[in-house]
Amino acid sequence: MPTVNSIYDKRLRPLDGLIHGIIYFCASISICLLAGIVGYVAFRGLSSINLAFLTTVPSSLKGTFGIAGNIVNTLYIIIITLLIAVPFGVGAAIYLNEYAKPGKLVSLIEFTTETLSGIPSIVFGLFGYVFFGITLGLGYSILTGALTLVLMVLPLITRNTQEALKTVPDSYRSGALGIGATKWYMIRTILLPSAIPGIITGIILSIGRIVGESAALLFTAGSGFLLPKLGEYGEGLFQKVLQPGGTLTIQLFLSMEKADYDSAFGIALVLLAIVFGINMLTKYLAHKFNVNK
């Protein structure tokens, strides 16, 4: 009778093998799905992308369909949104990290920042439509859309800047203050330069969110697709801000509604390429940031 305990007699656990199988099965489902999505979009989209697609605007007169106007609108919205959101977001992060003492006020600010990042874009869309569009009288315009998106990307910038500020060693702060710098001088010359990579990561993630946004823009920025008219002195470039303008994602949605799937896949591929570029850039920066530490 084998009374000796030996590892050779170890109880086999068939359940382990089964669970292993399930894990591999689920992982392969996810991987196939995700790879399939990219592959299918690339496959269907490549045929509709050409120079005319990227450089013209839709025109029933010439019978062309292009997304140049949407690309310009997307750029407009990105620039205006960031111009407003970055100062506010960075300022908020500096306050939370450098000035605030833990207490009710800070937890209120942090809770609302969390909440802001959890509100679905359609609610932002409704709010922007009522507040910026109707109450402030901006109507359907690029400015309305950008202001709405400011609220959406603010938490991203605040959180990333905060993370970056947290990695600045305390000795830098004490050193600067110790040799007589004021707090503002210390923030301006020591903290902000050290936090720049984090701020840039926040900006890039925000661009990604703006590029992919649709529900918040449908009722705020509208769906214009024309290129801005330059005007005599280029004032048209500024007037465009108060005109409606649909981004790439909005155009994709509209093409989908019209069952124009070829253009839809073309736009989808352009969007995927942008998202891919943004991801690469974030990775590169994160890497650089780590090396500097």
Partner 1 sequence: MSDKNFSIIGSYKTKNTVEKTAGVIFLACAFFAVLAVFSITLYMIISGTPAIFEVGLKEILFGTVWKPNAADPSYGIFYVIVTSIVGTFLAILIGVPIGVLTAIFLAETAPKRLAGIVKPAVELLAGVPSVIYGLLGILILNPIMYKLELLIFKDSPNHQFTGGSNLISAVLVLAIMILPTVINISESALRAVPRHYKDASLALGATHIQTIFKVMIPAAKSGIITAIVLGVGRAIGEAMAISLVAGNGANIPLPFNSVRFLTTAVVSEMSYASDTHKRVLFTIGLVLFAFIMLINLALNKVMKGGKKDANS
- Nearer Cβ to partner 1, position 19 or 79? 19
- Nearer Cβ to partner 1, position 98 or 163? 98
13 forms part of the interface with partner 1 (CB under 8 A): yes
**Positive/negative CA dihedral, 78, 82, 85, 89:** positive
Non-local (6+) Cβ contacts of 140 within 8 A are: 133, 219, 220, 221, 222, 244
- Nearer Cβ to partner 1, position 20 or 229? 20
66 forms part of the interface with partner 1 (CB under 8 A): no
166 forms part of the interface with partner 1 (CB under 8 A): no
Q: Min. distance of Cβ 233 from partner 1 in angstroms?
A: 34
Q: How far is CA 209 from the centre of its chain?
A: 2
Q: Of the listed pieces 50-58, 72-80, 190-198, 245-253, which binds partner 1 according to CB under 8 A?
A: 245-253
Among residues 157, 188, 159, which one has the least CA distance to residue 82? Answer: 157
- Nearer Cβ to partner 1, position 114 or 235? 114
- Nearer Cβ to partner 1, position 153 or 228? 153
Q: Of the listed pieces 32-40, 169-177, 194-202, 230-238, which binds partner 1 according to CB under 8 A?
A: 32-40
75 forms part of the interface with partner 1 (CB under 8 A): no
Q: Of the listed pieces 52-60, 74-82, 94-102, 225-233, which binds partner 1 according to CB under 8 A?
A: 94-102
Instruction: Please give the C-alpha separations between residue 57 and each of 46, 47, 268, in angstroms, as whole numbers.
Output: 19, 18, 17
- Touching partner 1, residues 186-205 (CB under 8 A): 187
Beta bridge pairs of residue 122: none
Non-local (6+) Cβ contacts of 167 within 8 A are: 194, 198, 293
Give the one residue of 33, 51, 179, 291 binding partner 1; rule: CB under 8 A: 33
70 forms part of the interface with partner 1 (CB under 8 A): no
- What is the rounded distance in angstroms from the CA atom of residue 47 to the CA atom of residue 52? 12
- Nearer Cβ to partner 1, position 38 or 242? 38
- What is the rounded distance in angstroms from the CA atom of residue 274 to the CA atom of residue 211? 8
| Burial of 282: CB neighbours in 10 Å, binned 0-12, 13-18, 19+ | middle
Q: Kindly state the number of chain residues that form the binding site for partner 1, as judged by CB under 8 A.
A: 84
